[in-house]
Structure 1
C-alpha cells in the first residue's frame, strides 16, 4: 500500500503552467508562445462571428462575388 509520501500527486494546479513556469493564459505582448494561444482564440471568435453574420443574411463574400460579376 502506498503512503502519502510515495503516492503520486493528484493535485491539479490552479493555473496552466508552461514548461518554463510562465502562465500560458497570461496576455504577454511580443513574439512568444502565449501569442499563438491568443491568436488562435481570437481567430475562432472571428470565424464564429462571420458565420453568424453570414447566417443572418449579410455575406461579405457573396457581395464581393456579385460585385465582380460572378
Structure 2
C-alpha cells in the first residue's frame, strides 16, 4: 500500500507551492508598481 500523505500542514509539497506563489505575487506587485507609478498600498487606497 502507498503511504498516505497529508494535504494540509507543513510538508514539502505545500511549502514548495507556497514559495512559488509568494514569488509570483512579489513579481506581479513589482511589475504593477513599475507600470502604474503607484505603490501597491497606494493602488489599494491605503496610502
CA RMSD of aligned residues (A): 1.9
Name the residue aligned to 2:30: 51
Computing the radius of gyration from Cα coordinates, the structure with the larger value is 1
- Unaligned runs of at least 5 residues, structure 2: 1-5
Give the distance between the partners of 2:26 and 2:12, measured in 1 at CA.
22
Q: TM-score, normalised on structure 2? A: 0.61
The reply to whether residue 36 of structure 1 matches residue 36 of structure 2 is no
* 2:47 matches 1:60: no
CA contact (8 A) 2:33 2:39 kept: yes
TM-score (norm 1): 0.45
Partner of 1:20 in structure 2? none
Q: Which structure has the highest helix share of the two? A: 2
Relative to structure 2, which stretch is displaced further, 56-65 or 29-38?
A: 56-65
Count of aligned pairs between the two proteins: 38
